[in-house]
């Protein structure tokens, strides 16, 4: 539980921080932003959707950005904090044009798993923290304010001898956003196919996320499905889904003239 308390304390602090710092009406220059979402889901998906917690989970995606640099914590934990993942993204926008973008990033990641441990003839279940180091390359092209394409190459290396050592995945993403359903309701759709390689195993998948938003409310309702085309990855499930309720926020902090 101590992990969960720490994360909840961090998120609570960030909420107070982002609401306490006011924007100046006389400001003219953006210097930084703090945005993200926190929520709860019936099934916590990993950054690679085929790896699921198979349990309800607390999720948080935060972004602290200044100019082209950003620090983006990605947190997924079951209520007991005995399983989940903590990813600390460091990202840099190499190109940030009106239509074309190119982002690179790296992160340390920590995955909490449950396993049995035998000591002095006594067997018990413990929580172990696995450590990873990964990097990403993400080119993107935005055709208009509703339609965009991107690709993401992600490679992760485990920092301990046991367990999977090398994971590589290629995502091909589509974003269809700002689909108006009514005056205030809109729908966003994010289909993606991805190709996963991990220590000699391979899987090809389709994942689709849909999100319903309201212009006057900070909450959104989203659902993700993950369908396997073909896979020999151990523990793979042919089909998975989840529903997540998120609280979304964004604050822009400016210099005061």
Give per-residue pLDDT as tens, 11-22.
444 444 444 443
Average pLDDT over residues 208-234: 96
Domain segments of the chain as ranges? 36-245
Q: Report pLDDT for 8.
A: 46
Q: Report pLDDT for 114.
A: 78
| pLDDT value at 154 more than 50 | yes
Q: Report pLDDT for 254.
A: 75
In whole angstroms, give the CA distance from residue 181 to residue 43. 27
What three-state secondary structure class fits 233?
coil
| pLDDT value at 228 more than 80 | yes
Q: Report pLDDT for 130.
A: 86
Find out whether 154 and 136 touch, Cβ atoms under 8 Å.
Answer: yes
Q: Report pLDDT for 2.
A: 44
| pLDDT value at 23 more than 50 | no
Task: Tell me the per-residue pLDDT of 25-73, one tens digit each, with 9 for 90 and over.
Answer: 334 455 799 999 999 999 999 999 998 999 999 999 999 999 899 999 9
In whole angstroms, give the CA distance from residue 193 to residue 132. 24
Bigger pLDDT: 113 vs 92? 92
In the 8-state DSSP scheme, what is residue 30? Answer: E
Task: Tell me the per-residue pLDDT of 157-216, one tens digit each, with 9 for 90 and over.
Answer: 988 877 678 999 999 999 999 999 999 999 999 999 999 999 999 999 999 999 999 999
Find out whether 107 and 90 touch, Cβ atoms under 8 Å.
Answer: yes
Q: Report pLDDT for 160.
A: 81
Residue among 215, 210, 206, 152 nearest 176 (CA): 210
Q: Report pLDDT for 30.
A: 59
In whole angstroms, give the CA distance from residue 171 to residue 194. 4
Q: How far is CA 50 from CA 119, 198, 203, 207, in A?
A: 33, 12, 9, 9
Task: Tell me the per-residue pLDDT of 74-91, one tens digit each, with 9 for 90 and over.
Answer: 999 999 888 999 999 999
In whole angstroms, give the CA distance from residue 59 to residue 204. 25
Residue among 187, 173, 104 nearest 142 (CA): 173
pTM over 0.85: no
Average pLDDT over residues 231-236: 92
Residue with token string 């994942």 = 207
Residue among 235, 238, 217 nearest 227 (CA): 238
For strands 57-66 and 29-41, give the pairing: antiparallel
| CATH for 36-245 (2.40.37.10, 1.10.599.10, 2.40.160.40, 3.40.50.970) | 2.40.160.40
Find out whether 170 and 24 touch, Cβ atoms under 8 Å.
Answer: no
| pLDDT value at 133 more than 90 | yes
Mean pLDDT (the chain) is 87
Give residue 257's pLDDT band: very low, low, confident or very high (50, 70, 90). Answer: low
In whole angstroms, give the CA distance from residue 224 to residue 205. 13
Average pLDDT over residues 94-98: 91
Q: Report pLDDT for 1.
A: 44
């Amino acid at each position: 539980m101590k992990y969960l308390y720490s994360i909840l304390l961090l998120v609570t602090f960030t909420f107070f921080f982002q609401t306490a710092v006011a924007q100046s009406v006389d400001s003219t220059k953006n210097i930084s932003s703090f945005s993200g979402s926190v929520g709860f889901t019936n099934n916590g998906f990993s950054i690679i959707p085929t790896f699921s917690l198979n349990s309800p989970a607390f999720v948080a995606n935060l972004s602290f950005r200044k100019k082209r640099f950003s620090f983006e914590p990605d947190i997924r934990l079951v209520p007991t904090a005995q399983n989940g993942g903590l990813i600390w993204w460091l990202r840099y926008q190499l190109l940030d044009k009106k239509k074309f973008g190119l982002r690179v990033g790296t992160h340390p990641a920590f995955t909490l798993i449950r396993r049995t441990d035998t000591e002095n003839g006594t067997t018990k279940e413990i929580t172990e923290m696995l450590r990873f180091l990964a990097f990403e390359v993400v080119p993107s092209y935005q055709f208009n304010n509703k339609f965009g394409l991107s690709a993401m190459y992600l490679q992760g290396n485990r920092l301990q001898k046991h367990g999977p050592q090398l994971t590589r995945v290629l995502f091909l993403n589509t974003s269809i956003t700002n689909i108006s359903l009514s005056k205030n309701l809109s729908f966003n759709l994010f289909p993606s196919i991805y190709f996963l390689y991990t220590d000699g195993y391979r899987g090809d998948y389709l994942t689709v996320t849909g999100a319903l938003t309201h212009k006057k409310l900070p909450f959104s309702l989203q659902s993700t499905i993950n369908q396997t085309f073909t896979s020999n990855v151990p523990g793979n499930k042919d089909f998975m889904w989840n529903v997540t309720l998120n609280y979304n926020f964004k604050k822009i902090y400016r210099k005061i003239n």
